[in-house]
Amino acid sequence: MKWVEGTWTSEAWAELVKHSPWDFPYDREGYADALGQNWAAMMDTGFALPLAYRKKWGMWTGYLPFGMQQWGPIGPKSASTASLCAAVEAIPGRLTKVDIAMHRPEDWQPLSSQWKRKGLRLERWTEQPNYVLDIGASYEQVYAGYSKQTIRNLKASQQSGMTVFEHDTPDVLLHAFKANQAERYAVPAGFEPAIRAAMYHLLHQGRGALWSVYGEGNRFLAGAFIAFAGNRAVLLFSAISDEGRQRQAMTYLLNEVLTYACGRWTCFDFEGSKSPGLARFYAGFGAKLEPFLRYQRWAIR
| pLDDT(22) > 80 | yes
Does 17 map to a domain?
yes
**Residues 168 and 62 occupy one common structural domain:** no
Share of the chain above pLDDT 90, in %: 72
Same domain, residue pair 187 and 230: yes
Residue 38 covered by a domain: yes
Residues 157 and 267 in one domain: yes
**Residue-level pLDDT at 36:** 77
Same domain, 139 and 264: yes
4-18 pLDDT, tens digit each: 987 778 888 999 999
Residues 200 and 142 in one domain: yes
Does residue 221 sit within a domain? yes
Residue 282 lies in a domain: no
To the nearest whole number, what is the mean pLDDT of the chain?
A: 91
If you average pLDDT over residues 273-288, what whole number do you get? 91
Residues 147, 252, single domain; the answer is: yes
User: Could you list the residue range(s) of the whole structural domain that residue 16 is in?
Assistant: 2-129+291-299
Determine the pLDDT at residue 6.
76
pLDDT mean over 171-188: 82
pLDDT category of residue 187 using cuts at 50, 70 and 90:
low
* Per-residue model confidence (pLDDT) at position 208: 95
Does any domain span residue 286?
no
Q: What is the average per-residue pLDDT within 18-34?
A: 88
149: pLDDT strictly greater than 90: yes
Provide, rounded to the nearest whole percent, the portion of the chain with pLDDT above 70. 97
4-13 long-range contacts (CB < 8 A, ≥24 apart) are: 4/40, 4/41, 4/42, 4/43, 5/38, 5/40, 6/39, 6/40, 8/41, 8/43, 13/48, 13/74
Contact between 197 and 35 under an 8 Å Cβ cutoff? The reply is yes
Q: Is residue 187 part of a domain?
A: yes
Label residue 107 exposed, middle or buried (CB < 10 Å: 0-12, 13-18, 19+): exposed
- Provide the sign of the torsion angle of the four alpha carbons 182, 165, 154, 271, taken in this order: negative
Q: State whether 61 and 113 are in the same domain.
A: yes
Q: Domain count for the chain, please give it.
A: 2
Global pTM exceeds 0.85: yes
Note the pLDDT of residue 43. Answer: 95
Give backbone dihedrals phi and psi of 100, rounded to 5 degrees, phi first: -135, 160
**How high is the pLDDT of residue 299?**
84
> What CATH number should be reported for the domain holding residue 240?
3.40.630.30
Are 14 and 99 contained in the same domain? yes
Any domain includes 276:
no
Position 181 pLDDT exceeds 90: no
The predicted structure's pLDDT at residue 102? 94
pLDDT of residue 186: 65
Both 144 and 266 in a single domain? yes
CA angle 84, 86, 87 (to 5 degrees): 65
If asked whether residues 44 and 11 sit together in one domain, one would say: yes
pLDDT in tens, 191-225: 888 899 999 999 999 999 999 999 999 999 999 99
Mean pLDDT confidence for 165-173: 94
Statement: residue 56 has pLDDT above 90: no
Beta-bridge partners for 292: 128
81 and 191 assigned to the same domain: no
Do 141 and 232 have their domain in common? Answer: yes
Q: Is the pLDDT of residue 33 over 90?
A: no
Each residue's pLDDT tens digit, 68-110: 888 999 999 999 999 999 999 999 999 999 999 999 998 998 8
pLDDT in tens, 121-136: 899 999 999 999 999 9
Domain membership of residue 285 (yes or no) is no
